[in-house]
A and B are shown apart, each in its own frame.
Chain A
């Protein structure tokens, strides 16, 4: 790696950090209004802005430094209590955050910068000695090529002083301390929350068993506490237990070296010399650390490679098992046991590797805050945005593709779904429209919902539109749900007027396409006048599928378990001849398509249900197993096959195809 690449890498890490800080800003600003401890939020915000400024200065990103600096100065006014946080200031801060984010993108991707005058003016408003207005002009006219022309002016960065105090003290709890229901370990655990502590147990007072008395307190602890708290606060903790704790500060500090190097004084108790107390036990130093998750950044390529390798391992495992069966290895033999242990380890390894790719959906949801703000501003609607379940985790590769469709759905919901305040008032709704973004996991699928309490979908309008756009034939009867789902058809649009926000309404089909590309479904539920809910159902991961494997002829196929409704023996009398070469199966009083042409077949029948809730009967020769399969793309290795999602490699090395129930089931009938 040469220097250039190294620098680029550091730059990228800085951008990632910026993103994290920006999301902290959004988070804190979002909740500051209702928070009882505004000051601590302001402090957190300040630290994030400060960090961005520090990094930006190191890379000479003048633009970023300038805004961050101004932002920081304004925050300082709030931090020192000169100004109070109100709704207006939160909004200005959010705007500043958005603009910071824009500047970061500008440096990172070379995207263009929008007009910043307003943001600067708003911020400057808080400072009596506003900065030179000329600076704004420079900022606005800036284009990427001009970066080099800026003179690098070192910006004074003051490091936030995180003062840490170190206290040395000893506790020697008395009998009453314990008899009052307290315990030394409780005290130590509590202390650990205040900072980092090092504890040394002093058991020199413990006598030999002959002289040992069960209810006498022999133990003392020496403690080093490193904490940002002031001495008064620490003293208060000691005072809480009164004199029973037997606490005293040691003014002459005993250093850590002393702890390790200096042997403890030889027990003075004469009976201790008989060696009943093991010095090794006495001299134990335990350390309590603050529990913090430590993280490392790993290139996603490496994780992907690992996932691939583990998948291969799983396939290999299957191969070994098949081999063992054909070479008559007895169940319970040592080889069999060893292999099943290996199996278990592989499975754990696989689960853990998959977990590495999992990422909270928060990363995407947070971005939507801004989309909502912008959309609300442009459309002049009042929107209360509720985010639920942002901690839910999903495979990173899916996460990355969710941003666009969600943005679209949210813009649509605000633009088309929610009504203007005056209209809402007429329909006896709150002035403010509610928009919900939810994530949760239901029966192994990752569900995301975008719901608004707006006007809902107008079925008759959609129906007419669909006819005029030649999406459906006139006169056809459709259920309400079917009509609503027409909005996902290509080229469909409900708004005749192009709106600035969500365009012509093209894109619902694109949303659907993007979602199905990552193995998901989208559906819409709406009640006119009450609201609309889009529900996206996604697989938890893209590389493993839970499926049912069956045999048809001498070929094996897999169908994803979530599509299987039922499996049973085919009853001949329920097969009905509809026309010359078309059979249907009577399933729960419903005639469903079946994939056989002649009636004499007698075998196992699988009932599958696609996303449109239509059932299909598939006749198979043999059901083999239900298990997890590693997905191997057919497109990458062969070419796209209609009717199949992808393929997998079975234990015996053969390839099995995975059936695409949603869009491909027709090709089997």
Chain B
């Protein structure tokens, strides 16, 4: 199973990568939306996890782009958010994300959420 993680924070990328690789996933990290789009030319993810606030291209825009491209049209996308309010979540869903994951998260929570869309 391939997972792409998009986050501008190296720490978050490392944490995610660490948890996911230990769980047996194949992980491709990207620094922001543009980097992700570039890497997607080679990498074929089964799921994409993206942060919302990133330089160059933010999460919402990335999701919209991904949904319009044939390769990633139906790939589950989870966005990471620190905000618990439903406004952000709705924005994410409107742009086409499958679901969200609240920061900070535990490893169990992360894996459970991934399993929710990748049974």
Write 26 A-B pairs (CB below 8 A) sorted by A numbering.
Answer: A176-B93, A178-B74, A179-B67, A179-B73, A179-B74, A179-B96, A180-B93, A180-B96, A181-B74, A181-B75, A181-B76, A181-B77, A181-B98, A182-B76, A182-B98, A182-B99, A185-B119, A186-B116, A186-B118, A189-B119, A190-B115, A190-B116, A190-B119, A239-B86, A240-B99, A242-B90
Give the interface centre of A176, A181, A187, A239 by most chain B CB atoms within 10 Å. A181
Q: Which residues of B contact A178 (CB under 8 A)?
A: 74
In the complex, A241 has a CB within 8 A of chain B: yes
Q: How far is the CB of B91 from chain A (nearest CB, A)?
A: 10
Q: How far is the CB of B90 from chain A (nearest CB, A)?
A: 6
Contact A244 B93 (CB under 8 A): yes
> CB within 8 Å of B: which of A170-220?
176, 178-182, 185-187, 189-190
Give the interface centre of B75, B89, B97, B99 by most chain A CB atoms within 10 Å. B99
> A178-B74, A181-B117, A240-B99 provided; 5 other pairs, C-beta below 8 A?
A179-B74, A180-B97, A181-B74, A181-B75, A181-B98
> CB within 8 Å of A: which of B52-102?
67, 73-77, 86, 89-90, 93, 96-100
Cα–Cα, bound, A176→B94 (Å): 9
Q: Which residues of A contact B89 (CB under 8 A)?
A: 242
Q: How far is the CB of B119 from chain A (nearest CB, A)?
A: 4
Q: How far is the CB of B5 from chain A (nearest CB, A)?
A: 16
Give the interface centre of B74, B76, B90, B116 by most chain A CB atoms within 10 Å. B116
Q: Which residues of B contact A241 (CB under 8 A)?
A: 93, 99
The count of chain B contact residues (Cβ–Cβ below 8 Å) is 20
Q: How far is the CB of B105 from chain A (nearest CB, A)?
A: 13
Q: How far is the CB of A182 from chain B (nearest CB, A)?
A: 5
Other-chain residue from B90, B98, B116 in contact with A180 (beta carbon distance below 8 A): B98
Q: Which residues of B contact A (CB under 8 A)?
A: 67, 73-77, 86, 89-90, 93, 96-100, 115-119
Q: Which residues of B contact A180 (CB under 8 A)?
A: 67, 76-77, 93, 96-98
Q: Which residues of A contact B (CB under 8 A)?
A: 176, 178-182, 185-187, 189-190, 239-242, 244
Cα–Cα, bound, A178→B74 (Å): 8
Cα–Cα, bound, A239→B84 (Å): 12
**Which residue of chain B lies nearest to A189 when distances are taken between CB atoms in the complex?**
B119
Q: How far is the CB of A229 from chain B (nearest CB, A)?
A: 13
Cα–Cα, bound, A113→B117 (Å): 56
**Which residue of chain B lies nearest to A237 when distances are taken between CB atoms in the complex?**
B116
Q: Which residues of B contact A240 (CB under 8 A)?
A: 99-100, 116
**Which residue of chain B lies nearest to A240 when distances are taken between CB atoms in the complex?**
B99
Cα–Cα, bound, A178→B96 (Å): 10
Q: How far is the CB of B61 from chain A (nearest CB, A)?
A: 16
**Which residue of chain A lies nearest to B115 when distances are taken between CB atoms in the complex?**
A190
Q: How far is the CB of B102 from chain A (nearest CB, A)?
A: 10
* Chain A to chain B: the 9 pairs with minimum beta-carbon distance, closest first: A181-B76, A189-B119, A181-B98, A190-B116, A242-B93, A180-B98, A182-B98, A240-B99, A181-B74
Cα–Cα, bound, A182→B116 (Å): 9
**Which residue of chain B lies nearest to A190 when distances are taken between CB atoms in the complex?**
B116
Q: How far is the CB of B115 from chain A (nearest CB, A)?
A: 7
Cα–Cα, bound, A182→B96 (Å): 10
Q: Which residues of B contact A186 (CB under 8 A)?
A: 116-119
Cα–Cα, bound, A240→B109 (Å): 13
**Which residue of chain B lies nearest to A241 when distances are taken between CB atoms in the complex?**
B99
Cα–Cα, bound, A311→B45 (Å): 51
Q: Which residues of A contact B115 (CB under 8 A)?
A: 190
Q: How far is the CB of A466 from chain B (nearest CB, A)?
A: 50
Q: Which residues of A contact B90 (CB under 8 A)?
A: 242
